[in-house]
Amino acid sequence: MQTNQEKMRDIEIQIQKEQDLFGNSVYQGLIPADLIVYFKKALMKLAPTTHMLWNRTMRAIVDKNIDELTHNEVGLANNTITSVPFEALYKDLREALRKNEQFEALKIEYNMLVKKKQQEWNERKENLIALSGVNINQKQILRTVN
């Protein structure tokens, strides 16, 4: 018979697997067609200590077609692009505003999707805890869910 701690560990592992599966699945939302082009430009303008991406992660994003990018890769690429000053990426302010609008829309869509998924995982975790028979008080449930 499993202890409460073992049951909670199993639930945490299950939720983490679901989160990893989502993060590594292909992004289904709208992605600007030139996201990878601007990601490359952004990488050339930022110091590695600023973006803090591993070389293999950068290579994976750069080497993919736009329709092959995962949720994690889309988020990383977009965050990298939007952290670069306009003058480093764009030829003029009009281009900067036009492109930034697309990247901001992607960021909003992505963040809303992740927030929705996080709510689903929190609900799933609560249900798994209830179904497992884990005997913990409400404060512990809130702490483990958040």
Give the tens place of pLDDT for each residue, 28-79.
999 999 999 999 999 999 877 676 788 899 999 999 999 999 999 999 999 9
- Return the HEC string of 4-61: HHHHHHHHHHHHHHHHHHHHCCECCCCCCCCHHHHHHHHHHHCCHHHHCCCHHHHHHH
Domain extent for 79: 4-145
pLDDT digits (tens, 9 = 90+) for 87-137: 999 999 999 999 999 999 999 999 999 999 999 999 999 999 988 888 765
- Number of domains into which the chain is organized: 1
User: pTM score, two decimals?
Assistant: 0.84
